[in-house]
Structure 1
Amino acid sequence: MNLIISEILNETNVAVAALVISLVFSTISLIIETYRYNKSNRINTELDFFKSIFHEHLVENIPKARSKVQRTQSGKIEGIDELTDILNIVRQDALFFRFRDKSFYDNLRKKLQSLEDKLTKLGKMDEEQYDDFRIEMNQEIENIYKLILNKEAGIEEKKKGITNFLKANFMYVVLVGVILFLLIFVTVLFFR
């Protein structure tokens, strides 16, 4: 009789443990999906901001203004004012990110300001100096584009270290910890 009761209790423990495990995994799945859904919505909203803020500048304004920067026969560089104005407008338009992603905003502001400073300090140049300047200017514009497009694509500069990994994946780390705790708990429950 005791053997039958013991088997029934073991079967009941197994059923309860299976129920607990299934409830835990269902809850964890719900939490993960809610987290992913909210993150996806946030990314889509941010993407809309990116398009409204940067699209026209990247596709039209900067390339047009850049194409007007030319060296005259006398060595004077023309078209600088329009390009510096556009860079200043981009910086002003990006102010939203000062509060949303300060690191991105500061990095973008520094790159834009650096290029503006170089453009405003230009004097007369011979052809070789202008060619060197043009290469450097194009590289700086390319770096600005790369920064903006990487941010839009969700590619940020990777920070090293376990702390940053844990911060970036906090939800998953907690869930793995909960799962491990429950598995240990169920194992202890069975083998007592």
Structure 2
Amino acid sequence: MRKPFLLTAALCLGLSPGPAVVAQESQAPGLLRQAALSADLYRLGLAQEDALLVLAAAKMRRALDFLPPPEAAPTLTGWEAMAEAARELAAGDPLLLDLIEDSLAESLKGVATGPTFLIRSLADPEGASVELEFSGGTLAEVYVEGAIGNRVSLAVSDAAGNPICRDSPESHIAYCDWTPAEDGAFLITVSSLDHSVTDYILVTN
């Protein structure tokens, strides 16, 4: 299971998160964590040929209204594509197909809190960085989704260069969250684990 290196993991590995981060209390997953979970569910559902898992991923992603449409971000798998994959996996099972259609017909309350996103091409396989401002005392999130089949890595460091978070999964998605101690700039670095050129979308809250 893919797990980002958060503050606790950094301490266990002997990394110093620096003074830019405060300890995080238990809290509900952030919106971008839900985006990452939907991608994980989708990937698992396809691997296991499980229409219900793929349907769950589609419903979760459908509720995240802040994500740009697939035509604006080609590497981002839209909920419609996930729903169609669920239908294909359920082909030949009328009861399961009816369940999928009924579930997708439900009225959903979307989430539109206004995160920002950058759609970019990773021209340098070694990585690309962007400096972004985050507010102190509130959960900061960064989510990266590349094209399926291209493994990406995500790293966050503070203005002093202290490592805050690193997520290097064996997949096309990566996620980091932390709570800054105060307002400030953080360096976000995205790289390709396959050392290949790829497009990706970076979403922050």
TM-score past 0.5 threshold = no
By percentage of residues, which structure has more strand?
Answer: 2
Alignment TM-score, normalising by the size of structure 1: 0.26
Alignment TM-score, normalising by the size of structure 2: 0.25
Which structure has the higher relative contact order (CA within 8 Å, separation 6+)?
2
